[in-house]
Amino acid sequence: MHEIIVNLHMHTRYSDGYGSHEDIAAAACQSGLDAVIVTDHNVWVNGPEDYYKNGDRRVLLLVGEEIHDQARNPQKNHLLVLGAQRELAMYAHDPQLLLDSVTKAGGMAFIAHPVDPPAPSVRQDDISWVDWNVQGFTGLELWNGFSEYKTRIKSKLHAIYFAYFPRQIACGPLPETLRRWDELLTSGKKMVALGGSDAHALKLSLGPLRRTVFPYEFHFRAINTHIFVPRPLGEDAEADSAMILDALRQGHCFIGYDLPAPTRGFHLTAHGLERNALMGDELPSKGGVTFQIRLPMRAECVLLKDGKLLRTWHNRDLCTYNTTEPGVYRVEVYIYYLRRRRGWIFTNPVYVR
């Protein structure tokens, strides 16, 4: 399998972002990404999907959409729609109808920033997902860079501080989002987790101060989704796009916070009696299963089963674990960066049945 680095969930001038698709492609090339997925609010922009070149680098730009009901107040229930290749925002008023329409169009639906608390000091509402009784979503955005920023803003001063020192923000997915995800997983559902940046390249002006808050380049070096695909990216944008979306659908990916140190090279595999499995795959428990975890450098590695801590390894770059117990197994990795213990890697689960 080949590992590719993808940044997803971002906005252009077609909604409330400040850059163009070309700006995003240029920033993505500079940041060394393989692909980006642009998701403007309530508009599916048809046309810009393609490979973009910048010097000797290139990036594949895909277009999805972030849909929510604009008539709803506050505007909760944001859904990331990927691979539908058509406009679906007209179904936003009814989340179940929207999800059914995504399925019918052959697309995937991921709950965006499932938990997104209010930040009253900068007049930001709670825009969490609330309709948890709906059926048919592919997964959720486990780690959203912008929701985490909102949790850190206790005053206007905090908002400015973190805008100037964005490296201080990220510590990991919000605990309530992790709890929600584990709850869905242990109820027997397959639920793919993605990492999203929610990049806007916002312009902040405060008296004489003018600054682009969290430029695209910053996000593209931070919370990425690392996807395992069966062959390297080629020349055909359409075929490569289909391959990436298929790998996402299967959950063949992990979330890597690449800013403190690159997460490229991380691996979680499960080895059974008859076959092996990647993150996102199912494997029978019969005959036993061995997990192999390989880290790009020594760190704290945590194995969880059904949302509960099973084993922690400290300062290790290779970990193995044997089991015969059915369950949902996933891995979290933590490192120290800027004097704090921070989440570094969050994998999709291996489902041992």
Site residues for Zn ion, 111-170, by CB under 5 A, read 112
DSSP assigned state of 117: -
Q: Which two tokens stand for residue 165?
A: 């020192």
- Measured from the CB atom, is 46 or 70 closer to Zn ion? 70
Number of residues forming the site for Zn ion (CB under 5 A) = 4
- Tokens at 59, concatenated: 């990036």
Between 112 and 295, CB nearer to Zn ion: 112
Q: Is 158 left (phi over 0), alpha (psi -120 to 50) or beta?
A: alpha
What's the closest the beta carbon of residue 316 comes to Zn ion, in angstroms?
36
**CB 186 to Zn ion: min, Å:** 26
Q: What sign does the dihedral 68-133-105-246 (CA atoms) show?
A: positive
- Measured CA to CA, the distance from residue 312 to residue 304 in angstroms comes to 9
Question: Closest approach of Cβ 144 to Zn ion, in Å?
Answer: 8
Q: Smallest distance from the beta carbon of 62 to Zn ion, in angstroms?
A: 15
CA distances from 155 to 60, 118, 124, 200 (A): 39, 12, 12, 21
From residue 192 to residue 231, the character string flagging contacts with Zn ion as x (rule: CB under 5 A) and all else as - is ------x---------------------------------
Q: Which residues contact 156 (CB under 8 A, 6 or more apart)?
A: 121, 122
- Whichever of 193 and 335 has its CB closer to Zn ion, that residue is 193
Binding track, positions 77-96, relative to Zn ion; x by CB under 5 A = -x------------------
Nearer CB in complex with Zn ion: 112/259: 112
Nearest residue relative to Zn ion (C-beta): 78
- Minimum distance of Zn ion from residue 113's CB (angstroms): 6
Q: Which of 38, 2, 3, 1 is nearest to 345 (CA)?
A: 3
Residues in the chain: 353
Q: Which of residues 196 and 280 has its CB atom nearest to Zn ion in the complex? A: 196
Q: Residues 50-79 vs Zn ion: string with x where CB under 5 A?
A: ----------------x-----------x-
Instruction: Give CA–CA dist 5/229, Å, rounded.
Output: 11
What 3-state class would DSSP assign to 292?
Answer: strand
Q: Which residues bind Zn ion (CB under 5 A)?
A: 66, 78, 112, 198
